[in-house]
Amino acid sequence: MNIVVCVKYVPDAQAERTFNASDNTTDRDNVDGLLSELDEYAVEEALKIVEAGEGEVTVLTVGPAQAADAIKKALQMGAHKGVHVDDDAIHGSDAVATSLVLAEAIKKIGNEAPVDLVVTGMASTDGTMGVVPTMLAERLGLPAVTFASELTIDGGAGGTATIHRDGDASTQTITATLPALVSVTDQINEPRYPSFKGIMAAKKKPVEKWALADLGIDPSQVGLDAAWTKVEAFAARPPRSQGEIVPDEGDGGRKLAAFLTEHKFV
């Protein structure tokens, strides 16, 4: 199995995140970045698949120089090699352009050995759109089986991928033939912590650095100017208001029930 996991380097969701005043893109300089926590599930799932059988996990990211940290974390967890697409022209790219770069990079990875499975997180913790997996599958002509809370591979490369997708009212079981793209939720596994040995081994693992030219992508197709959507303006959300205090005059329970019903909490 030759698996590519797409990961994103994002500003720490625990920190106070903001935008650059100059072009309204994400501020990466004043906030610590890390491997998107939702992508850790994708890395873990890929590792479990190759550990149960055989194969190799390549971790792919598109991002600025610091994004190398996201690859490093995935390699520390156990991924075998990394590909980092970094090009100044990519700055400000939207989901459409990001999926283009990822798709071309995966095609290039596939030139060496065919890619059997592409795994992604369900969304990034910064953009939270969750559309890149489907766009990417479309560009690659792969079946997209998304929001997997369980993933089973049968028959290895050339076999099938079967997922469980938990909805509000039902759980769907979906099977796709490989090669395919699977996006996974935070319910699918418990991502491992890198071990000391993993940290040491990661230093020796190969990481390829590619620019747009290596992928044959014209810079005009990506970046802020090519984006279909743009952040026009941003403003800090007003501080949370005090909330409503309801005095209990013997009917507190009823008022509470009414509140919960009104907001469809019950």
Partner 1 sequence: MFELSQDHEDFRAVVRDFAENEVAPNIAKWDAASYFPTDLVPKMGELGLFGLVVPEEYGGAGESGDFTSLCVAIEELGRVDQSIGITLSAGVGLGINPILTYGTEEQKQRFLPDLVAGRTLAGFGLTEPEAGSDAAASRTRAVRDGDEWVIDGAKAFITNSGTEITSVVTVTARTGTTAAGAPEISAIMVPAGTPGFIVEPAYHKLGWHVSDTHGLTFEACRVPIDNMLGEPGQGFKQFLKTLDDGRIAISALAVGCAQACLELATDYAKTRIAFGRPIGVNQGVSFQLADLAVMVEGARLLTYKAAWLKDELHAGRRSVAEVKHAASIAKLYSTEAAVSATRIATQVFGGNGFMEEYPVARFYRDAKILEIGEGTSEVQRMLIARGLGLPA
Residue ranges binding partner 1 (CB under 8 A): 72, 76, 192-197, 199-200, 203
**CA–CA dist 234, 21 (Å, integer):** 9
Smallest distance, partner 1 to C-beta of residue 127, A: 23
Smallest distance, partner 1 to C-beta of residue 12, A: 12
Smallest distance, partner 1 to C-beta of residue 192, A: 7
**CA–CA dist 35, 21 (Å, integer):** 24
**CA–CA dist 123, 38 (Å, integer):** 7
Smallest distance, partner 1 to C-beta of residue 222, A: 31
The strands making up 117-121's β-sheet, listed across from edge to edge, are 144-148, 180-184, 117-121, 2-7, 56-62, 81-85, 207-210
Smallest distance, partner 1 to C-beta of residue 41, A: 15
Q: Which is nearer to partner 1, 193 or 228 (CB)?
A: 193
**CA–CA dist 96, 98 (Å, integer):** 5
Q: Which is nearer to partner 1, 199 or 226 (CB)?
A: 199
Strand partners, 33: 11
Q: Which is nearer to partner 1, 28 or 73 (CB)?
A: 73
Helix (H, G, I), strand (E, B) or coil at 120: strand
Q: Which is nearer to partner 1, 72 or 84 (CB)?
A: 72
Q: Which is nearer to partner 1, 196 or 265 (CB)?
A: 196
